[in-house]
């Protein structure tokens, strides 16, 4: 039986780093953000609808969607963000579902920033949430993406409070300290999971 973990956290909390750690431990990790890139690529199932909704100004000279330009629009306008998500989420969910069905590993992780908002967590056996303070999120965005402080704040504040995700979590990973400390938490939770899998009576619960 495959155990499905939903892995989420607000922007720049470090969920991708936790995903890499889980992959190193043996999980199959499906990155929903990478899937979103695929479905919005030219010829992808969401491409035409996104261009129709936001206009040709979001396109690069090669015809691909300029994600930075699109991001600047949707993070400044809640209605625009909802519009984008309504187009992209169904396509992402369909592709992720297919990848989960194809997986042969005993543990599959679906990493998605909008896991809860899209309702994908309801199909998971456990929900993992990665957290860190707002100030760290802003600093990380400025450092890793070259954003101004105002741009970083806009992206952080465009998302629901972290507390809402934490309230639903089965596992909370605090990524506010060193990577070694984060890894310690991930390995500890992994060992618990593997121990449960080895029990003949293991019955994963639904995290929704």
pLDDT in tens, 59-77: 999 999 999 999 999 988 9
**Per-residue pLDDT tens digits for 117-160:** 999 999 999 999 999 999 999 999 999 999 999 999 999 998 99
- Which position has the token pair 């199932």? 45
Domain CATH for 43: 3.40.50.300
**Per-residue pLDDT tens digits for 28-39:** 999 999 999 999
Regarding pTM above 0.85, the answer is: yes
Q: What confidence score (pLDDT) does residue 179 get?
A: 96
**Per-residue pLDDT tens digits for 96-109:** 999 999 999 999 99
**Average confidence (pLDDT) over 14-23:** 98
Q: What confidence score (pLDDT) does residue 2 get?
A: 84
Q: What confidence score (pLDDT) does residue 197 get?
A: 79
- With cut-offs at 50, 70 and 90, classify the pLDDT of residue 200: low
Dump the DSSP string for 16-85.
HHHHHHHHHHT-EEEEHHHHHHHHHSTTSTTHHHHHHHH-GGGB-TTSSB-HHHHHHHHTT-HHHHHHHH
In a domain, residue 204? The reply is no
Return the number of other C-beta atoms located less than 10 Å from residue 26's C-beta: 11
In the predicted model, what is the mean pLDDT of the chain? 93
What does residue 108 show for φ and ψ, rounded to 5 degrees?
-120, 135
Cα–Cα distance between 136 and 130 in angstroms, integer? 13
> Residues 204, 3: contact at Cβ < 8 Å?
yes
What does residue 170 show for φ and ψ, rounded to 5 degrees?
-90, -30
Cα–Cα distance between 59 and 70 in angstroms, integer? 9
In a domain, residue 202? The reply is no
Cα–Cα distance between 34 and 51 in angstroms, integer? 19
Cα–Cα distance between 98 and 61 in angstroms, integer? 32
**Per-residue pLDDT tens digits for 83-93:** 999 999 999 99
> Residue 116 belongs to what domain range?
3-197
Q: Count of domains in the chain?
A: 1
Cα–Cα distance between 174 and 181 in angstroms, integer? 9
In a domain, residue 206? The reply is no
| pLDDT of 207 strictly over 90 | no
- With cut-offs at 50, 70 and 90, classify the pLDDT of residue 203: very low
Classify burial at 148, counting beta carbons within 10 Å of its beta carbon; exposed 0-12, middle 13-18, buried 19 or more: exposed
């Amino acid at each position: 039986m495959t155990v499905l973990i939903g892995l989420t956290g607000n922007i720049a909390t470090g969920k991708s780093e936790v995903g890499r750690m889980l992959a190193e431990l043996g999980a199959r990790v499906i990155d929903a953000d990478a899937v979103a890139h695929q479905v919005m690529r030219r010829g992808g199932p969401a491409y035409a609808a996104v261009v129709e909704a936001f206009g040709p100004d979001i396109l690069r000279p090669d015809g691909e969607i300029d994600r930075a330009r699109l991001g600047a629009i949707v993070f400044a306008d809640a209605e625009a963000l909802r519009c984008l998500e309504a187009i992209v989420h169904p396509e992402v969910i369909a592709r992720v579902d297919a990848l989960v069905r194809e997986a042969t590993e005993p543990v599959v992780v679906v990493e998605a920033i909008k896991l809860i908002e899209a309702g994908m967590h309801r199909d998971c056996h456990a929900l993992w949430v990665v957290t860190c303070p707002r100030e760290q999120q802003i600093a990380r965005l400025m450092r890793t993406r070259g954003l101004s402080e105002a741009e970083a704040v806009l992206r952080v504040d465009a998302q629901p409070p972290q507390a809402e995700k934490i309230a639903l979590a089965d596992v909370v990973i605090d990524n506010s300290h060193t990577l070694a400390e984060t890894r310690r938490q991930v390995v500890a939770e992994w060992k618990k999971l593997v121990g449960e899998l080895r029990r003949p009576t293991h019955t994963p619960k639904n995290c929704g």
